[in-house]
Every structure is written in structure tokens, then in C-alpha cells.
Amino acid sequence: MQEFLEFTLGGIATGMIYAAIALSLVLIWRGTRILNYSQGGMAMFTTYVAWLVIQHTGSYWAGFAVALAAGLVLGSVLEFAVVRPTENKAPLNAVIVTIGLLILLEGLAGIIYGGQYRSFPAAFSIKGLKAGSVGLGISPNDVFTAAAVLGAAVILALVFRYTSVGLRLRATAFAPAVARLLGVRIGRVLTLGWALAGLFGALAGVLVTSSTFLYPNSMDSIFVLGFTAAVIGGLDSPVGAVVGGIVLGVVLSYAGGYLGSNLVLVYGLAALVLVLMIRPTGLFSSGVTRRV
């Protein structure tokens, strides 16, 4: 029973990381119908920036803040400079561009920072929390991770729901051409979508790397799992992305805990295949098929 509790809470905490990556993918998918394969690479890169800042200033929070800012900037710059030119071209062009970006970012990180594994600090203690004498399977840092992602997701939801910018983001996701006709500057909206995606990716990168290591490919497997979470959630739905992340985190935590932890990534891929076979539109998509 105690094991079950530990696996559940631990799974939720890890799941929030997947949720952050999933959210970043959903933000871009909704606006542009592009699956951003470079999301993991972007998150890795901003985490290196955070690492550099922490090395120089000794302040975790300075690194944390700079990483988020770097995510915003990186997202908007990449959209404007690299992705925009693929607009109105075959969808495959954008896919290839984002894969190319991933290779470029990982290569650059290797050139600039070297390929060795570096440890990345955690914001809070990573010692397990206890309720009385019962171990909970999560640390204060896990709690912070979950709270940070959830907080960011709630702020995003409020912006979407209650601001005119959020309204434009949503309208553009549904019908860009109509939105443009109504005076929405689609280009800016798309840049904003990428910037926000960069922010969520950066958040995920900083939060997850304290429990792994930092190296040029460090986000690859996290990206795959985040993508799985996004697919579970339907790729279209921010709420679905968060729920998908938590579901995946918990399922993988049970699988790792009860079946052995060596194959977690394989279980993740199995979950992806399963969802695509049974409910390819995801659990939370509106179910409306679109002409692509």
C-alpha cells in the first residue's frame, strides 16, 4: 500500500514534466498544425543557459528566470526566422525544418558546452517527504516541480480564457484565415504561440534536469514521453495535455515500480502505440476532423 502511494505521487510529479512538454507541443500544434520536433532540443538549450548562469552567479533562481526568458526568446526567434518561411508550403517542409533545428541545437550545445554529463541543481531538497513515518515517494523539489507546471498551466488557461490576446490565440487555432479577415495579425499570434511553447519547454527542461543529467541529448527521451502525453490528451487540448502528462507519469511510475524500471521508455512508447491504435484523436480532442 505504501509502495502504491509512493508510485502514485512520484508518478504525478514526473507526469507534470511530461505535461509541460506536452503543453508546449499543443501550443504550437493548435496554431500552426506543426509538430515541433525541436521542442526537446530547445528545452535542452535553455537549460544549458540556466546552467551557465548558475555557474556564474551561484543563484539557482537567476538561472531559472533566465531559462524561462531564453525559452520565450528562442521560441519567438525560431518561429520568425526559421518556421515562418515554411508557411503555405507542403506540411512536410515544416516537419523537416523542426527536425533540422533539433539536430542543429544539439550540435551547437555539443560544440559550445561539450558532450560530458553535467549535474544540474534542484530548487529544493530532494530528500523524500514523510507523512509521520510513512514515506511519500516525493521530495520538496517534486512538489515544487508539480506546483510550478500547474501554476504556469493555470496562468496560461486564464490568459486563453480572459484576455483578448488569448481570444486571438484561440480563434487563430480554429480558423486562421477567418481570423486574419477579422483583422488578427496571424503572424504575431503564431510567434506568441511559439514563444509560450519555448517558455513551457524551458520550464520542463530546468525542472527535469535536476533529476537526470545535462548533456546535448538529455531531453530526447523526455520529449518522446511529452509527445506521448500530448497525443493521449489529443494534441489539440491544453487541458488534455496536462491530464495526459499526469496519466502517463502515473502509468509509467506503476510500470517502472512493479515491472522494473529499466524499460520505462519502452513502456512509454507502448502507451503511445496503444493510444494511437485505440483512440488516435486522443482522450480530450474535440473529435472534429479537420482538413489538413
Partner 1 sequence: MNDGSLEIRDVTVQFGGLTALDGVSLAARPRQITGIIGPNGAGKTTLLNTACGFVKPQSGMVSFDGQVLTGLRTHRLAALGIARTLQGVGLFPGLTVAENVMIGATPSAKAGVWSALFGLPRSDRDERRLREQAMAALERLGVADQANELPGTLSYGLRKRVALARALAARPRLVLLDEPASGLPENELPELGDLIRDMAAEAGVVVIEHRMDLVMSVCDTIFVLDFGKLIAHGSPAEVQADPAVTAAYLGADGEPGPPAEGEPGPTAEGEPGPAAGGPANLAPDAPADGQADA
90 is an interface residue for partner 1 by CB under 8 A: no
Closest distance of CB 234 from partner 1, Å: 13
Q: What is the Cα Rg of the chain in Å?
A: 19
Among positions 166, 221, 254, 279, the unique one binding partner 1 when judged by CB under 8 A: 166
Closest distance of CB 230 from partner 1, Å: 18
Among positions 42, 78, 149, 192, the unique one binding partner 1 when judged by CB under 8 A: 192
165 is an interface residue for partner 1 by CB under 8 A: yes
77 is an interface residue for partner 1 by CB under 8 A: no
168 is an interface residue for partner 1 by CB under 8 A: yes
290 is an interface residue for partner 1 by CB under 8 A: yes
133 is an interface residue for partner 1 by CB under 8 A: no
183 is an interface residue for partner 1 by CB under 8 A: yes
Number of residues that bind partner 1 (CB under 8 A): 30
Binding residues (CB under 8 A) for partner 1: these are 159, 162-168, 170-171, 173-186, 188, 192, 286, 288, 290-291
